[in-house]
A and B are shown apart, each in its own frame.
Chain A
Amino acid sequence: MHLRTFIKDSADLFRISAAGACPMIYKVISKTEFRKFIDALVKHNTAYGPRQVDTGSGGKPIYQFRPVTSADEIDFDYTVTHSSAKHFFLPFRDELSRFSFEDGNWEQEVRYEAPPLILIGLRPCDISAINMLDEVMLHGPYPSPYYLARRKNTFIIGMDHLPLPDCFCKSMNRHTVNHGFNLFCSDIGDKYYLSINSSKAYSFLKEFMLEEPSYEDNCLLIERRKMIKHSFETNIEVTGLPVFLDIEFDSPIWQKWGDKCLSCGSCAMVCPTCYCYSVEERFDIDLKGSSRQNHLYSCNLVDFAQVAGGHNFRPRNGDRLKYRYYHHYRGFAANDNQQICVGCNRCGRACLADINPKDVINDLRLERESCMICVSPSPDRT
């Protein structure tokens, strides 16, 4: 009935998400040697890496993933990109199929091809977000071949970083990642500690001067991990949040924040895990064909839940804002009770009305001030 059987026949395409079970190789590489490796890699391939594109308010640099052709163009010490890396897998506009008309008849063409791509410098939360998208796009009853082709043809090099003051990845337990990448680099002073997670990455890397990690290197890595863990300044209490959200479904808090919301959809555009889309068709300019395209949509836009005849199931700003929070924190059928928010706070930075998840969730929790169990935080995750 569905696509999964079909895909299984063509190749073992589902291996990517089982990568967590693969053995990982740990090596150490000096930073100069690593630059040589990146240089060789990007020279002959389409590669995207973090580059400064603008300067924001307060003189802070704004980074984006942009095409790179040499290691010198990449800002390895960037903080975080404004948009997420999801657009490499879910482009804003994507052609699903193409029709060509002829003599009162038409032919449909469906193409799943994707060019090979290298992504450099993804943060652990970005990689976690892609793992989450894998869950949604590939593990349902109808796996998406468009996504699969892109995912299989992308080589991901991850890098860890010290969190920004408003990141809350640790609260979502997404500040570390152990699968979903080909190569992961941890900065330990003048060297990178490499976690090699694919044979392809290893076969490229073994041409370079790799060292076995020494005792000091291991200590430095653990030190680095600890430092990252302890430098999170923003924390959100998410324990028991799904049940809490169910209880607070009719809370006036939603309308309060909904009144601020401009329904512009900026949050969904920069979110690394927002994947809702809309499908539309348009004629070619020569009227000899048409294409069916999907484009990313946001549940905050007014007509998201509108049906034929004009009835809107979520007419108010507050309803739509609530829905987005439910989708992200209540979890949903596809990944049972798993919260798809990774805690990067991109939505908070992009929001024009200054709404961010930390404030909304804290507000919800504090509304029940009388109930001390809801307000007092649970012990730290270890």
Chain B
Amino acid sequence: MPALVKRMERCPLCGAEFDAEGQGCRPSCPMATGCKVICCPSCRYSFPQETGLAGRLKAFLERRRTHP
């Protein structure tokens, strides 16, 4: 099953905010295991969840924004 982190995400296409849980690839996709691509429930736009290195970079940038 998709390896998505449960958290709120904002769709870069339509701006909808939604819970990432259950919004990953469907089991029918042979690449679903470990897949981090999220599908927006509002407009269906797909984008990878920013976890791993990207998540760490995001957290670092947010820390710098908060405490410059």
User: Is chain B a partner of chain A in the same complex?
Assistant: no
Residues of B in contact with A (beta carbons under 8 Å apart): none
Residues of A in contact with B (beta carbons under 8 Å apart): none
